[in-house]
Amino acid sequence: MEGLARAEWRKSGRSGSSNMCVEVARGLDWVAVRDSKNPSGPALVFDPARFDAFLRQVRG
């Protein structure tokens, strides 16, 4: 995926120094999620609108 290698990955500030969480990066037309324990591993890539809808559902 173009741009994923240069993506700015973020994780929740609530996770502290733990590496047991997910990281999220946003591009213009994608949102990627990866495991913080394996930053060079695979990432799941989503359409931004669908990812935002997912977050709304999770947050309730």
In a domain, 7, yes or no: no
pLDDT (0 to 100) of residue 34: 94
Structural domain including 46 reads: 13-59
In a domain, 32, yes or no: yes
Q: How many CA atoms lie within 13 A of 40 on its CB side?
A: 0
In a domain, 8, yes or no: no
Digit-coded pLDDT (tens) for 14-46 = 777 777 799 999 999 999 999 989 989 999 999
How far is the C-alpha of 24 from the C-alpha of 59, rounded, in Å?
A: 16
In a domain, 2, yes or no: no
Identify which has the larger pLDDT, 14 or 60: 60
Taking residues 40-59, what's their average pLDDT?
95
As a three-state string, the secondary structure of 10-60 is: ECCHHHCCCCCCEEEEECCCCEEEEECCCCCCCEEEECHHHHHHHHHHHHC
